[in-house]
Structure 1
Amino acid sequence: MNDDNIVGQALVWLNDPLNWQGPDGIPVRTLEHLTMSALAVLLATAVALPLGIWLGHRGRGGALTVVAANTSRALPTFALLLIFASTAIGFGNRPTVLAAAIFAIPVILTNTYAGLRDVDQDVREAARGMGMSGRRSLALVEIPLALPLIGAGLRTAVVQVIATVPLAALVGGGGLGTYIITGLATRRFGEVLAGGVLVAGLCLGAEGVMAGLQHLMTPRPMRPVGRRPRRAAARVARAQS
């Protein structure tokens, strides 16, 4: 089939008002997709973030845990999805949320642990020297310094989960993956391409939002200096010389 014809079919499908209305319309499926993705990321964060903070602050046993978590990434998400669907969990959105959460845990855990472990030991000792307890030092010093890496882990996890959730359609779930699976089943490849474009657009949008949140999470002194501040600093240096 001609690629130009498929692109044309995708454009026609995306511009069809009927595909933007009703329970199977793009807005409803997009909201369903985002809801599953948010639940998966929240579930993964609830497990990985406290564990990563505790291991990174403790400084012992973390490397082995991170290796074990990263090893779990070798498990195919699709295989986990089918296993969950065949149990009491059942078909639909629930197995997808669980499988996507398991997929997201390693990256959040690894980045959180690395962020805490990268905090300079001199900074920790300075905090202790100021009379801070271990918990107070963790909350006021270590976690703020680790926020850039923690934010990067969450950012990666969100995009990965959004890109994985389309698998829900294979086990009777919803989301934007339904367009891809329906298009493949009926050989309407323009619909398949349109579904892929919608998922890709959602990933790009989430990447932009998470990049902004990561920037806000990063303490101001740790934010990268833009071109204008560097140029201003250079002009000040030249004026003072």
Structure 2
Amino acid sequence: MKPKFISISEEIIEKIKSGELLPGDKVPSENELIKTYHISNTTARKTLLEVENNGWARRIKGKGTFVLNRSSDHHVMRTLGSLDMTRRGFNENLKAEGFTPKNIIIEKTILKEGISSDIVGKHLIMEGPVLKIHQLRYADDDLMKDEIKYISLTLCPKIDRLSTEISYFKVYEDNYNLKISDIKQTLSVDIMQPAAPNNNFDTKAPIPIFVLDSAVLADTGKVIEIERSLYRGDKYKFAIAVNPEYQSK
């Protein structure tokens, strides 16, 4: 008869193989395993270690155990509507999947005038001053995302003094005590030509790209953040999660 920790680890691995747990998803914690399977601390610890030792997940100290990206083409999976993924931020999500993130800042400036954007059929306006951050996001040595983010300095004063590697979503909640009422997102596709002036991917042939427009709104109706990002279509896959917290919005 198999030891209990082996049986439970095999269940977790099967969930990863089936796609129930995706790259970057958090594996049940020791306490969750203890509660679900009525096992000891030692058995729960050995279960997670077994999953990790078999190359399916990695433990990040103080954060938990996360599913690694084992796809042969190293496509990065992103889930639209996932609050956990949004709160962790780009860098932490890559680390959770086993990648080494790197950011290159192209522009970081304060715009006195506000900006606007049409997302999900709505015209959203962010009044100035606004922090603009344009940065290139890498996974290992591959440029994965060309990101332009605008943040309200009225709602988030002095946020320009913080590192761009942080999870801004968590900062909005924790540092500025903003209640996020809605996240609006639209995803479209395009072809990036090698000679295009906005092609920072330095490709020699046309590549497909995902264009993600998003906005983060406070419960006051004010726009906290507007983002427009280009993702390499040959490096990304997108999934969609329905978030019950926002279903009535």
TM-score bin (small chain): under 0.3
Larger relative contact order (CA 8 Å, sep ≥ 6): 1
TM-score normalised by the chain length of structure 1: 0.20
TM-score normalised by the chain length of structure 2: 0.19
Higher strand share: 2
Higher helix share: 1
